[in-house]
Structure 1
Amino acid sequence: MAKIISQDTYDEVLKENIIEFSMTIDEARAETIKQFEAQGINLANIIQDLNINENSGVPVINESIDALKMHVEGNKILNVNELNNQLDILASELSKTVPHRVHASKRNAQEYLLKIIESEINNGHQDSILHKAILCAHAMTTKNPDIFDSSSLSTIVKLLDTQSNERIICDILKWIQKACLLHEMNRQMIMNEEILVKHLKPLLFKDDTSIIKNVCMCFRYLIADDDIRVEFGKAHEHARLIANECLIDLTQLLVKFKDDSNTLADIMLTMAALAVRNEFCQLIADNNGVTLIMDAMVSFPDSIKIQRESFKIFKALGGNDSVKATIIKAGAAPVLESSLNRHKADEILAKNALACISTLSLRSKENAIALFEAGLPETIVDTLKIHEKNKLIQRNGAWAIRNMVSRSKEEQNQTWMDFGVEEILEKARKNHPSIDQDCRSALRDLGAKVHLNEEWKGVAEKQISNE
């Protein structure tokens, strides 16, 4: 069994090589590693590239944390410039890797940062210190969310209660986002604190676009389902709570920020993520959401981000059959065709566009005919030709074709065949065996000659002998 050492032991030997033997940092690091490896010690748990102070031989991150510790304990109070400088150093070190953040966590850096933030809330007048301390706190939490606890959340609530500076508010929201990433228990803890109604929802009425974008991102992180340690999360429940409180307000923001494509895209992405139930899809439609999304597509025809998010939200809304019909009746078919035709070379947009068309045409002859008459067959075939190596685009295209023709074969089949769809689907079958069944189903509904596998054959029971 390999022997291991602590980070402090490694750092002490490294310091000794620098101070006692006058080695350069690179020489000392190489010698230290050589010494331990010669003793059969496994250094896999050691951060070997910590930034070292040449004069003291001590890791810079350790010196910074120790300075903050003495400051909050009152042993050596730092002035504003010194405190700003130490926070800058710590933020720089924390931004490097997750092991750096874990190392800082083990040295209780989070505790000292929270005390500095609390002190600034109660007594301070230095926004720069508050800003940098919060930056360090959410840098500590980035991909290291286990460090976030009830004390961190309590500090966040106090900040939201007291701060009006827009930059500080954005810092707080980013901290919340980092705490939610990959951590279901943090998401539940934040939602249980009920900051949604009291703190996050009111921020939607701010005029600052950075705040709006960060609130939207908080909503999306709160409804994520990315923690593999938890068998069953509460993503749907969180989405329901947020949608009930904020979905109408988000829809109205499409009017307020109609001239800001980046903000519009963030809002639409969030609305799509929240449209997880029939009633929420209907709520968006009832508040003129369909028209507002189409207006955004027409206003920003060259914005791939706007077009992509529009396809996503229309796909989400298409989960409601009533809203699906409303979308097409509102005249969306030619808008969707124009967007896909203009941006068909973009892989991500093409994938989302074909998925949207597939959803809107599913089990709806009227929608399928409207999409057909808007000229989508030729555009879809052209898109599949461009992305013949992309399996998801080929699969989504096969679904869209099948859904468009399955209930109106006599009106569409020949047109599709004239555009060479059979050759495209046959090529997709060969290039991507895992979507073979999807392509064959589309070919079958197109009237092409295709052999369908019989997935299961019944076996006659053996006659039971009476002997």
Structure 2
Amino acid sequence: MGGPATKRAISQEAFDEVVKENMEDFDMEAAEALQDAIDSLTLQGVDLSGIITCVPGESLVQDNPVLKSIEDLKKHFGDLEFEDERELKKLSPLLLNLTNLCDPNRNNTESDTDKSSVDTNANAAIAARNGGVELVTSICGKVASCGNEEVIVSALQALTSLLRDVQTAQTFQKCGGPDIVIGILQQGTQNSELLNACYSVIAAAATGNEILKEAFVSLKVDQLLISTLKGQNKGSIPSLYDAIRILLTPDDFRVAASQVYGYARQFAKVGIPEALVDTLHEGLISPSLVSACVALKAVSVNDEICRSIADKGGIDAVLRCIDDSGEQLNKTVAQSCCSLLTKLAGSDYNKSAIVEKGGMDRLIRLCARFADEPSVIQEVMYIISVISLRLPDHASRAIEAGAGDLAIQTMQNFPAAQLLQRNACIMIRNLVVRNPENRKILLDNGIEKIIRKAKERHQNCKAAATDALRDLGLDNYNL
């Protein structure tokens, strides 16, 4: 399957000429001429990203702050003597200025006069169109071994702010970016800010880009990831977990088959799942708990890995975090841990482990804590569906724990919550399909009427509701 059609390109000079013609040939005012040029070219399928659209007579292209920032960097970098520490340090504020202009998560300074007017997406596109990625990648390569970690961090942060899409990532790769970043990591730094900056670049470059994922894996990024995970400062390196997640996410829709599942197995061989489990054992005091859950979910791609996580105490850790999230009413942790537990429960071995550790009761207790949070309850119902699939003993245990009452109460309490209604129907089906005794319990409590209401109200519930009604033993399940 091919990617989307490529838009037509236009140079800054050609765009400016269109605006000029509108003013001279059609006697338009400057603002009208500019807007007409934008509208007409957009209709023609021209890509205007990175084009500076200033009103003639009011400002000049050369006055654009992004262009000025790039020119300042070019000049200072071109004249730089790397042995001169004072001149080297002057790079940092210049790089920071570009970062502030292009990074959506930037920290604005007090001198910003109109923070809301800064369009970081447009600025990043302008920088990319005018050689910003090539320039900053080159700077990263030059300063990588300068010994001044502040300057290196500034360069990497600026680079992250420019890596927004496939095109900028490809430019980064052509400039040798992956080798530069991996080379910095291979120096063995323990500076958490520098490590975070490196993994931020990796995450940004690999997002939606199978080629960059392969490049980093080929450079043995897994060895560096595990080394950092075993370090003392892992809790202060949030992008570490982002990098793991993104490298293992099949998000490049230009390719027919992603290789990320093979990368996940490779990551497992070096011990990354076990290292992530260690973060889970730290519990809610860990600032990286949620990120570690998401990363561990990404690496849990087969039964062998899921079982190894359980053998290292992963299920115990997740269930403990679920308990604690309920006590502290931490919805974000609860959702993340439930989502991870669902993935781990894909292994039949782990399903039994979850039940044996009182998982059913603990999940129902969590729902009681979050009785007003359908987003948490729907996660729990999906876990119970997975644990009960083709396992009648587990389905019986779920009913004993209160899963049937949970379905009835929450479907009545949240009739508009589409995903909750659908997950409830799926759970009911798995609870009754091999357990005739469970059918009577649920039917006697009025579940048929509740399911039919969900089926009538929500399009995305129709199939799941029909299946649930059928497996409840009702002849008119298609009605």
Please say whether Structure 1 and Structure 2 have the same fold, judged by a TM-score greater than 0.5: yes
1:141: which partner in 2? 163
2:241: which partner in 1? 216
Alignment partner of 1:105 is 2:128:
yes
Q: Secondary structure of 2:41's partner?
A: coil
1:251: which partner in 2? 277
224, 232, 235: which one aligns with 2:260: 235
1:446: which partner in 2? 472
5+ residue gaps in structure 2?
1-7, 21-27, 104-118
54, 66, 71: which one aligns with 2:71: 66
Matches within 5 A, 1:310-389: 310-389=337-416
Q: Secondary structure of 2:283's partner?
A: coil
139, 142, 150: which one aligns with 1:119: 142
Quote the Cα distance in structure 1 between the aligned partners of 2:191 and 2:121.
30
From the superposition, tell whether residues 41 and 205 of structure 1 become closer, same or farther in structure 2 (CA, over 3 Å).
same
1:264: which partner in 2? 289
Matches within 5 A, 1:402-413: 402-410=429-437, 412-413=438-439
Deviation string for 1:366-418 (max 9, x for gaps)? 111111111121112222223323333222111100111122222x2333234
Letter in 2 for 1:298: D
Shift of 1:272: 2.0
Deviates more, 1:39-48 or 1:267-276: 39-48
1:415: which partner in 2? 441
Quote the Cα distance in structure 2 between the aligned partners of 1:169 and 1:4.
37
Decide whether the 8 Å contact of 2:134 with 2:172 is kept in 1: no
From the superposition, tell whether residues 114 and 56 of structure 1 become closer, same or farther in structure 2 (CA, over 3 Å).
closer
Alignment partner of 1:285 is 2:307:
no
From the superposition, tell whether residues 280 and 142 of structure 1 become closer, same or farther in structure 2 (CA, over 3 Å).
same
Report the RMSD for the aligned CA atoms in angstroms. 3.2
Shift of 1:13: 9.8
1:461: which partner in 2? none
- How many residues get paired? 434
Quote the Cα distance in structure 1 between the aligned partners of 2:314 and 2:61.
62
Decide whether the 8 Å contact of 1:440 with 1:450 is kept in 2: no
Matches within 5 A, 1:35-46: 37=36, 42=41, 45-46=47-48
Decide whether the 8 Å contact of 1:4 with 1:42 is kept in 2: no
Q: Secondary structure of 1:319's partner?
A: coil
1:132: which partner in 2? 154
2:3: which partner in 1? none
Letter in 1 for 2:388: S
Deviation string for 1:195-227 (max 9, x for gaps)? 211x11100012335445422221110011111
Quote the Cα distance in structure 2 between the aligned partners of 1:367 and 1:222.
35
Quote the Cα distance in structure 1 between the aligned partners of 2:355 and 2:128.
54
Letter in 1 for 2:208: L
Letter in 2 for 1:160: L
1:432: which partner in 2? 458
Alignment partner of 1:168 is 2:194:
yes
TM-score (normalised: structure 2) = 0.81
1:458: which partner in 2? none
Quote the Cα distance in structure 2 between the aligned partners of 1:174 and 1:408.
50
5+ residue gaps in structure 1?
16-28, 454-467
Quote the Cα distance in structure 2 between the aligned partners of 1:80 and 1:307.
47
Quote the Cα distance in structure 1 between the aligned partners of 2:395 and 2:425.
14
Matches within 5 A, 1:181-220: 181-197=207-223, 199-211=224-236, 213-220=238-245
Shift of 1:133: 1.6
- Max Rg structure: 1
Decide whether the 8 Å contact of 1:384 with 1:394 is kept in 2: yes
1:31: which partner in 2? 30
TM-score (normalised: structure 1) = 0.83
